[in-house]
Chain A
């Protein structure tokens, strides 16, 4: 057992959880202002592509990150305009955005990056260097957990607390709460409902785009077709499992990241002499979310004005 559960596994879990936390906290802001956001997956995917393209063309991961966040925001803007101005159903708009991102990223990948590969040029980008922790690296636990982690991961660990403070300790956070729970009353009280809804949705684009950037600029170094591989939906599950609370969502994302890391570690290895099917581990986040939805883990209460 000890060779399966060690600090390295936890380090890998943190890496797996990073894009999940970022996207889940992005989606959280969108849902907190009442806009259902199943388009996280598309924003991650398109963000990953933009990150790869930006970094490939300029050689700078910072430009790649900016492109990823820009593209995430653009897709989010489309969702905001569709749901707020055109009054489109939130689910339909989300489905369309996921399809658009899948189609466009694959199309552009084959048009721009594949020909470069065929011409013998590299499609591997310059990645962000791992963060050096200075003196902390000498402490055994920090060393094992945070060694070779990117700044994305450290940021993802701090972000939930920042978001919690923002939501519960500021006037703005209270307004968000009001919009998500009863937009009509909020408007009567003079809260700028539409502006907050736009902000919340755009916020989801920033962080889902950043999650996509992580995949390319910190994890793998290159874009691959459909590389988001369902992470947007796991993030959505984490957000619900965490009951629309920043710490809950981040905690759930960490847990789901741990299952993924464990699954990769376990490939073929027996635990206590039993061969665990890896499919079961991969299924676990979704299964747990369904169990949570059943109300077995306490009452679920989404923002009451969600979807209107």
Chain B
């Protein structure tokens, strides 16, 4: 237990901290003070008059909502043996679909929010369908097609938001603000961006955990990912499970985009943040693709992000130290935990 689990985790933490230390030291800012500011950005403590726990948790919980959903999206696909690096594009499609529903008039008030979230998830699932269909029917590598669909989504949403769904009231490339009834309430009144989308995300994580580990469907899906030939031989409908897992994956990424629109931004705009789709890869890998563990890894990554952003805001140090640290973490986790079994001598 200690050698296989605890030691690698400790080593990983040390390596990431070392990378952070190096990057901060190279900026010439005092180390102790910098780490204190990162800690403040991640937790709110030590608090000051200008920045306290409310500010920190608003940012952390907001990021955590998106990272958890995109992390779950990547994880469920990987459980079925598929690498969905198209979460960014699926998120964009979900976001613009939710913004479109949110700005419609004449939708019954009670239905407006659930409809926006559902259509957002459906748009994400739709965007994941072609890549998995190409995989199952044509043997095309899903990584290549999801990359292609990321860019197609980028330009398609850009065209939509500049030509078709643009707010007629202004010149800016953005949709109108969504209706009040289509908004997710914030977690606290004094929050600015963290909404009850977090609740949806955590419930989804727990639900996925049950489905993956306590149902036949989950068993067959995991068997497909572990060894498709063996699962085939045992009679599992592997192609079906792959398609379903990928649709679920795209749906979760689309839901992330919809929640960002309904809970935080209240509109879609040019340059809508989609990099959460890539961050989801780190969340899933760190959690070993386990939905419940993903809650913890999503929190960790959000804390790291918020800490780095706070350091940037306070001292001007480049916030990209979080991106570098994340890359180091992915490489470490992949090299230590995800080694492929050696097949040849």
Contact = CB atoms under 8 A, between A and B. Distances in A.
Interface of A: 36, 38, 78, 82, 86-89, 91-93, 95-97, 99-100, 102-104, 106-107, 110-111, 183-184, 187, 230, 233, 236-237, 240, 277, 279-280, 282-283, 286-287, 289-290, 293-295, 300, 302, 306-308
Contacts of B320: 102-104, 106-107, 110
B299 to A, nearest CB: 20
Contacts of A110: 318, 320
Contacts of A187: 344
Contacts of B338: 88-89, 92
B335 A88 contact: yes
B334 A92 contact: yes
Contacts of A86: 334-335, 339
Contact of B331 (A93, A183, A293, A294): A93
B156 A279 contact: yes
Q: Helix, strand, loop or mixed for chain B's interface?
A: helix
Contact of A38 (B138, B143, B334): B143
B23 A92 contact: no
A103 B328 CA distance: 11
Interface residues of B, number: 47
Contacts of B27: 111
A290 B330 contact: no
A283 B152 contact: yes
Contacts of A183: 344
Contacts of A82: 331, 334-335
B166 to A, nearest CB: 13
Given A97-B327, A100-B328, A282 B155 contact: yes
B172 interface: no
A180 B318 CA distance: 41
A103 B323 CA distance: 5
Contacts of B343: 308
Nearest to B147: A233
Nearest to B279: A99
Given A104-B324, A290-B145, A293-B144, A96 B342 contact: no
B155 A289 contact: no
Interface string B306-343: 00000000000010111111111011001100111011
Nearest to A289: B148
Contact of A280 (B155, B281, B331): B155
A4 to B, nearest CB: 21
Q: Helix, strand, loop or mixed for chain A's interface?
A: helix
Interface string B137-160: 010110111011101100110110
B278 interface: yes
* In the complex, the 8 A-B pairs of residues with the closest C-beta atoms, listed nearest first: A103-B323, A103-B324, A100-B327, A99-B327, A279-B159, A86-B335, A283-B155, A293-B140
B31 to A, nearest CB: 16
Contacts of A295: 138
Nearest to A188: B344
Contact of B143 (A78, A91, A99, A277): A91
B330 A92 contact: yes
Contacts of B26: 111
B285 interface: yes
Contacts of A104: 320, 324
Given A88-B331, A306-B141, 15 more contacts: A82-B335, A88-B338, A89-B340, A91-B83, A99-B324, A100-B324, A102-B323, A107-B318, A233-B151, A279-B162, A283-B151, A289-B148, A290-B152, A293-B134, A294-B138
Given A38-B147, A96-B330, A286-B148, A87 B339 contact: yes
Given A38-B147, A290-B130, A300-B140, A283 B156 contact: yes
B232 interface: no
Contacts of A300: 138, 140
Interface in B57-83: 83
Contacts of A237: 144, 147-148
Contacts of A289: 144, 148
Of B147, B159, B321, B339, most A-chain CB atoms within 10 Å: B147
A290 B338 CA distance: 29
A282 to B, nearest CB: 5
A277 B141 contact: no
Contacts of A96: 327-328, 330-331, 334
B339 A95 contact: no
Contacts of B85: 38, 91, 95
Contacts of A36: 141, 143
B206 to A, nearest CB: 26
Given A102-B320, A233-B151, A88 B334 contact: yes
A111 B321 CA distance: 12
A279 B278 contact: no
Contacts of A306: 141
Interface in B159-176: 159, 162-163
30 contacts: A78-B331, A87-B340, A88-B335, A88-B340, A92-B281, A95-B85, A95-B281, A96-B327, A96-B328, A96-B331, A99-B278, A99-B324, A103-B326, A104-B320, A104-B324, A106-B318, A106-B320, A106-B323, A184-B344, A236-B144, A237-B148, A279-B156, A283-B151, A283-B152, A289-B144, A289-B148, A290-B148, A293-B148, A294-B138, A294-B140
